[in-house]
Amino acid sequence: MTETPLADPIGLEVFSNRLLTITEDMGNTLVRSSFSSNIKERRDCSVALFDAGGRLVAQASHIPLHLGSLLGGVQAVLAEVGLDGLHDGDAFICNDPYLAGGTHLPDIAIVTPVFCDGVPSFFTANIGHHSDVGGVVPGSISGQSTSVFEEGIRIPLTRIKAAGEINQGLLRLIAHNSRDPVERDLDLRVQIATNDQGAAMVRDLVQRLGADAVASSIDDLLAYTRRRLQTRIAAVPDGRASHTAWLDDDGRGGEPVPIVATVRIAGNHLGLDFTGTGPEARGAMNVPESALRATAYYAVKTVFDPDLPPNSGLFDAVTITAPDGCLVNPRHPAAVGARSITCNKVARAILGAFADLLPADQALSAGQDIVPVIVFSGQRRKHDGPFVYLESLGGGGPATATEDGMDAIHVHMTNSSNLPVEALEYEYPLLVEEYALVADSGGAGTHRGGLGLAREIRARTDGVVFSARSDGHVRPAPGARGGQPGRMARLIRNPGTDQAEDLSSKTAGLHLLAGERIRIETPGGGGLGPPEHRDAAALARDIADGKVSTAEG
Amino acid sequence: MVRIGIDVGGTFTDFTVLNQETGALGFFKVPSTPADPSAAIETGLRQILADGAVRPEHIGFLGHGTTLATNMIIERRGAPTAFLTTKGFRDVLEIGRQTRPHLYDYNRVKPPPLVPRALRFEVRGRLDVEGQELHALAEDDVRTACAALRGQDIAAVAIGFVHAYADPAHEQRAASLVRQALPHAFVTLSSEVLPEFREYERFSTTVMNATLGPPMAAYLDRLLTRVQDLAIRAPLYTIHSNGGLMSVGTVRRHPVRTCLSGPSAGVTGAAQIARRLGYPDAVTFDVGGTSTDVSVITDGTPAFTAARTVADYPVKTPMVDIHVIGAGGGSIAWIDAAGALKVGPHSAGASPGPVVYGRGGTAPTLTDANVVLGRLNPVALLKGALPLDATAGRAAIAGDIAGPTGLSPEVAAHGMVRVAVANMGRAIRSVSTERGHDLRGFALVAFGGAGPLHAAQVARECGIPTILVPRAPGTLCARGALMSDISLDFVATGLTDATTETWRATQARFAAMRREAEDWLAGEAVPVDQRGAQTMVDLRFHGQNHELSVPVAEPDKVDLSAVLEAFHALHRQVYGYTLPDRGVEIVTCRLKAIGRVPRPSEPPVGAETPVHAARTGERPVWFDDAEGWTDTPVFDRERLPAGADLSGPAVLEEMSATTLVLPGQRLQVEPTGTLIITETGLGR
């Protein structure tokens, strides 16, 4: 056990506060001044600060799927350009999961070296989910894609700004490989400006505290984080446990695919292994390395220490292994676009394995454990030009030993806000008919699983194209410790009419006529504990509220 | 004439009494009475009338701030409320933005909706985004809902329909049906409470207004009765969240607008004091027992925000932009499992309180640290009324903080203060530097019981060159009620491209709002020559979803290009870039109607007594770990004459607060008694 004493426990806390100011400010700028609905409303973006050695110092993640996901981009800068090759006024861009540590192509990262007294001392970095980066389908992600070449423009690590000047040609090249080039152009400029704003604050910090004091505080911060996590891990008895979660299919139909997580605790060290997981998917359900790491770090924080600061100290205490060529360690050029769905199943597998090693009061049932996404595209309502409207939906949350699962929430790796109905109808030729909880969708239990969500949308013009990537149509969220499973998901075209049609969870490129409707119902969470032990008042409240019908209650 | 300002807090109800003829300014506190807050107000008013010097008919003004609304939401004591909404959307209140409150902890759950699902009813009828009717209102659905509610214990009905901001007709028709069926219910409409798009935030604000309506009315009735029983004839005003005053009638209709009543009065008071002393740009710094409130003032005007959460529910009403963090005198220090020193967010509050109070507190707090360091009087506070046990405070810090870290009790106590100051500094930077303000041109206005104690260190931490400490800083929120104007905010969502034509329509909209505002001011009995208005327009680039508020002094006289120029400049200031060629959208028009309340000038304090007469003693104070103890003069702040000019270090004690001046700082007392602390550039 490493027992590095903290050089200055008071200075550490003062310093952490200053770092948070920087990342909060960057995150605020990125969200509030951006144009992609993914970033501006749904906060599918993250900002981070690294030191010159490539260690993550601080991160403001709006979604856990980005935890540590900027590491790959910074490592690519260090490996391909090196500190000696950096100049003040540079900024780099990348998105490729195989060439630059990306998680999927729509997540474009910008990495900016920060020079203090002429020396590259830090990197500011941010990542944003762009609505469209080209590829076969609007929104760039289809569960059915068979290779990364179908998923949009691949950007290896490239200098997009030199001597303070943006490379306009490169920016145009990237923007025009998207169905919405104007939005790409604007958002990339916002991302670059965000890093510059962070860089100015970092320089100010170094000026105020001195470079040596900052370096020593960073060492303290990372040592502190590592020690804090190791203390928690060491408190759990040594042991080993496995758990399997299931995907309905690999994106192109077929049989359910197992995801097997094995957790091993030895002293203050934690190992996660994925041997036994299904093979590389034919479709886009594969999880590249950086996304797998983010998922593992998410699970570790959830289990051991929800408030652990996100920095490289967290990464040091965990070892992750997965066989080559499997679903969670795919080979180039396997498609990875829909990895967020798989990541949530991976999180479930890890949390399920931990359940056998931890006390019962830390139990967590399965939630919806997917990220259901619907995508509508067509011509904008008010302005000329195309639109791509993407929405990821909440579903049933997992029940805990003390709480019912939350209804209609994002679970695990994502936590995106919805697009308000009134904002959606302003921008797109769509009408929302219903946005509601799905009664009886939460698995019964001593603590009920959360309810799934229904969203029904009508096309107001011809030529609207619909795609979905989802799961949970075949395998429900299982209950835990005697709880019942949640209800499965559904996707229906024109529900309640005689043309009603059940759609596949990986529907792509469906052309809608004016007046046609799409309804998605997301999965409910699994219950925890035997239903007969449920508090009578809680059940009565559920029945009065119509969340549980008397027939099933 | 006597003017009285009141602030109803959780522990104390503060009073400020200004005699307009003599200029005498008095401050006092009485214990609060949470079960019926109007009881403490009566007690204080009786105290003012007790010696006969002030008679009821002398009282010409009563203004009060109260966080009653916020407390009722936190404690879920609002009235039983039903909600009528568009078919398909009854779960919007429960879904929220479909996010979970904490990314990594499923035991931290969403708050239950203010209206349970069983009391949320759907009504057919649908508008589109332009307000065009797609389906007519199904009046039978409204009647059916009312029938279901009859006989139930429902005191309030909220009505929120999709796109009602664009056309309120459906809501208004439904409201009249509800009023017929349920004549005793308090009915509130989303199109009246918040005519802005984004349904969740609008519905949330609307149901909060509904649930607050009946209990707020009951409170106001009790208070009015007590005031009338004392034969006081002055009109009663309430401070609302934007720092202005509202009549009782307006508060009854819009109780949700009082969520920040109280704290906003402190900001208003601080802004006026700073502006009068020549500091139009300032940061307010209000430190109490459990929290620190900070806000930014530019050009003499507090920053406003249109959105915040109250007990985790979103509320969108115009509010002074106050940023609150859980750091105050009662904040508890602890060493976490991995060895870091933390201060807060847990607080010992007023009970048991800090260890030095000797009321059973055992966990070391920020107040204990300040006593150990000699910054607070180690014998007693509140002019001797609150004796302290400094030894117990030192032992708690030695045991819980110094022991595990291997530090001396003084270094540990100073560490607690440094960590708290860093937390406070982060809060200040988040409302100032993060919004593009350069603090080198700002003053820090310190108030609340513990603001002046930490201001010197916080100002250095943030690079703020000047500190202002008003008189009786512990009761500034009560005094702020005497410095406020009558005001009400009007908003209208436009949501349109900014073109010459739409700007003309926007100007017409502003003119209509202006007329509406005039009607309201007339209803508040504001004389014509005291009426005014502030107008702003919320703009964004086409494709953005967050707006910036651009002040437009006289919308009818300004052309679009000037408005857009101001928007581009503001965008560059806030976000670091702008897009000169990008289309801009007009989203919301805002108008604040103002009825100016005449105010006498601040009374001067005496300048006759010499400075040394105010000196009460000397004690060792710990400022710096390298220097250790420094013998420091102690002054009675209330006896310091105008014009006094001292070099730090110094400690200034008064009834409601203690002010610390660091070595290297200079203290001056300006003619009306405000302390001005500056850096000398020496002895840092």
Q: Do residues B75 and B209 make contact, with C-beta atoms less than 8 angstroms apart?
A: no
Give residues 14 to 73 of A whose Cβ lies within 8 Å of B: 14, 17-18, 20-21, 24-25, 28-29, 31-35, 37, 40-41, 61, 63-64
Residue owning tokens 């004839």: B233
**Local structure of residue B400 (DSSP, 8 states):** I
% of residues, chain A, pLDDT over 90: 78
Chain A residues within an 8 Å CB radius of B323:
none
Of A204, A225, A246, at which residue does a domain stop? Answer: A225
CA–CA gap between residue B616 and residue B619 (Å, rounded):
10
Burial zone of B618 (CB within 10 Å; 0-12 exposed, 13-18 middle, 19+ buried) = exposed
Residue A53 located in a structural domain: yes
Q: Residue B51: what pLDDT?
A: 82
- Across residues A67-77, what is the average pLDDT? 88
- The complex's ipTM works out to 0.93
Whether residue A182 is predicted with pLDDT greater than 70 in this model: the reply is yes
CB B505 within 8 A of CB B548: no
A2 to chain B: nearest residue by CA? B338
Bridge partners (DSSP) listed for residue B445: B284, B468
Q: Looking at chain B from residue 163 to 192, which residues have their Cβ under 8 Å from any Cβ of chain A?
A: 163, 165
* pLDDT band, very low/low/confident/very high, at B19 (cuts 50, 70, 90): confident
Selected residue of B83, B92, B95, B582 to mutate for chain A interface (largest A Cβ count, 10 A): B95
Q: Which one of B98, B200, B343 has the shortest CB-CB distance to A410?
A: B98
Q: Burial of A117 by CB count in 10 Å (0-12 exposed, 13-18 middle, 19+ buried)?
A: exposed
- Using the Cβ of A231 and the Cβ atoms of chain B, whether some distance falls under 8 Å is answered with yes
The string of DSSP letters for B560-578 reads: HHHHHHHHHHHHHHHHS--
- Please provide the size of chain A in residues: 553
**Residues from chain B contacting residue A383 (CB–CB below 8 Å):** 542, 583
Please answer yes or no on whether A25 and B545 come within 8 Å at the CB atom.
no
Residue A168 has pLDDT above 70, yes or no: yes
What is the CA angle B79-B81-B87, rounded to 5?
165
Which two structure tokens, joined as six digits, stand for A504? 């596949």
Nearest to B353 by CA among B382, B311, B318, B313: B382
pLDDT in the model for residue A2: 42
Say if the Cβ atoms of A9 and B95 lie within 8 Å.
no
CB pairs under 8 A between A and B: 211
A207-216, B258-267, B432-441, range with the lowest pLDDT: B432-441
B545 contacts A37? CB cut-off 8 A? yes
Task: Give how far B569 is from chain A: nearest CA, Å.
Answer: 14
Which residues between 27 and 66 in chain B have a beta carbon less than 8 angstroms from any beta carbon of chain A?
none
Per-residue tokens: A366: 């399965």
Give percent of chain A with pLDDT exceeding 70. 97
Average pLDDT over residues A418-438: 94
pLDDT of B683 reads 39
Which residue, A196, A225, A254, sits at the end of a domain?
Answer: A225
Taken in order B143, B145, B147, B152, the sign of the CA dihedral is negative
Two structure tokens written together for A18: 């200053």
Q: How far is CA A452 from CA A534, A547, B617, in A?
A: 20, 11, 69
* Residue in the structure block whose two tokens are 């984004």: B198
- Picking from A21, A394, A423, the nearest residue to B545 by CB comes out as A423
A436–B89 C-beta distance less than 8 A: yes
B473 and B284 in contact (C-beta within 8 Å)? no
CA angle A336, A337, A339 (to 5 degrees): 70
The alpha carbon of residue B266 is apart from the nearest alpha carbon of chain A, in Å, by: 26
| Residue bearing tokens 């890093």 | A195
**Cβ separation A25–B117 shorter than 8 A:** no
| B92 reaches A (C-beta below 8 A) | yes
Buried b (16+ CB within 10 A) or exposed e, B177-187: bbeebbeebbb
Are the C-beta atoms of residues A357 and A271 closer than 8 Å to each other?
Answer: no
Does any CB of chain A come closer than 8 Å to the CB of residue B684? no
Instruction: Summarize pLDDT for B321-355 with one digit per residue, the tens.
Output: 999 888 899 999 998 877 889 998 888 877 788 99
Instruction: Kindly give, in sequence order, each residue whose CB lies less than 8 Å from that of residue A269, ignoring residues fewer than 6 positions away.
Output: A230, A233, A317, A319
Which residue from B540, B7, B566 is spatially nearest to B238, judged by alpha carbons?
Answer: B7
> Is A296 in the B-facing interface, judged by CB distances under 8 Å?
no
Write phi, then psi, for A183 (nearest 5 degrees): -65, -40
Let me know: does A12 contact A221? Beta carbons within 8 Å. yes
Q: Evaluate whether B524 touches B577 at the Cβ level (below 8 Å).
A: no
Residue B684 has pLDDT above 60, yes or no: no
Inspect the interface and report whether the beta carbons of A546 and B576 lie closer than 8 Å. Answer: no
Domains of chain B by residue range: 76-213, 274-291+326-426+436-484+603-684, 487-595
Q: With contact defined as beta carbons under 8 Å apart, do B122 and B91 qualify? A: no
B269: left (phi over 0), alpha (psi -120 to 50) or beta: alpha
Question: What are φ and ψ of residue A53, in 5° steps?
Answer: -85, 0
pLDDT value at position A5?
60
Provide the total of helices (H) and of strands (E) in chain A, helices listed first. Answer: 11, 20
Which residues in chain A have Cβ-Cβ distances shorter than 8 Å to B423? Answer: 17
Could you say which of B117, B338, B577 has the minimum Cβ distance to residue A545? B117
Residues in Cβ contact with B75 at an 8 Å cutoff, skipping those fewer than 6 apart? none
CB neighbours of residue B492 within 10 Å: 17
Residue A346 within any structural domain of the chain: no
Query: Given this model, what pLDDT does residue A412 score?
Result: 96
* Chain A interface includes B601 (CB < 8 A): no
Radius of gyration of chain B (CA): 26
pLDDT digits (tens, 9 = 90+) for B83-111: 999 999 999 999 999 999 999 999 999 99
The three-state secondary structure class of A174 is: helix
| Cα–Cα distance, B564 to B104 (Å, whole number) | 43
Comparing CB atoms, the residue among A33, A225, A437 nearest residue B544 is: A33
Of B98, B105, B343, the CB nearest to A394: B98
Gap from A79 CA to chain B (nearest CA, Å):
30
Cβ contact B338–A434 (<8 Å): no
How many angstroms separate the CA atoms of A156 and A72, rounded?
11
Our separate counts of H helices and E strands in chain B read 17, 37
Range A237-263 burial, b when 16+ CB lie within 10 A, else e? eeeebbbebbbbbbbbeeeebebbbbb
Q: pLDDT confidence of B575, banded at 50, 70, 90?
A: confident
Domain B487-595: state its class. Answer: alpha beta
> Each residue of B248-287: pLDDT tens digit?
999 999 999 999 898 899 999 999 999 999 999 999 999 9
Does any domain span residue A338?
no
**Number of domains into which chain A is organized:** 2
CA separation for the pair A111, A92 (Å, rounded) = 5
Q: Write down the mean pLDDT value for chain B.
A: 92
Strand partners, B30: B13
Is residue A353 in a domain?
no
Residues B164-188, mean pLDDT to the nearest whole number: 97
What's the distance, CA B333 to chain centroid? 26
pLDDT band at A551 (very low <50, low <70, confident <90, very high): low
Does any domain span residue A398? Answer: yes
Q: Which domain holds residue A379?
A: 361-553
Which of B212, B141, B146 is closest to B179 using CA atoms?
B146
Q: Is B98 left (phi over 0), alpha (psi -120 to 50) or beta?
A: left
Q: What is the mean pLDDT of residues A395-403?
A: 96
- Asked if A188 contacts A174 with a C-beta cutoff of 8 angstroms, the reply is yes
Measure CA B454 to chain center. 20
Tell me, yes or no, whether A318 lies in a domain: no
User: Which of A225, A241, A260 delimits the end of a domain?
Assistant: A225
- A6: chain B residues, CB-CB within 8 Å: 339-340
Judged against a pLDDT cut of 80, whether residue A384 lies above it is answered with no
Q: Does B99 touch chain A (CB under 8 A)?
A: yes
Question: Closest Cα of chain A to B522: distance in Å?
Answer: 35
Q: Indicate the SS3 state at residue B645.
A: strand
For residue B426, give the nearest of A17, A186, A417 by CB distance: A17
Q: Which two tokens stand for residue A38?
A: 């993914």
- Residue B645 phi, psi (nearest 5): -145, 110
What share of chain B in percent tops pLDDT 70? 99
Residue type, B486: I
Alpha-carbon gap: A542 to the closest alpha carbon of chain B (Å)? 9
- Position A188 in a domain: yes
Residue A234 lies in a domain: no
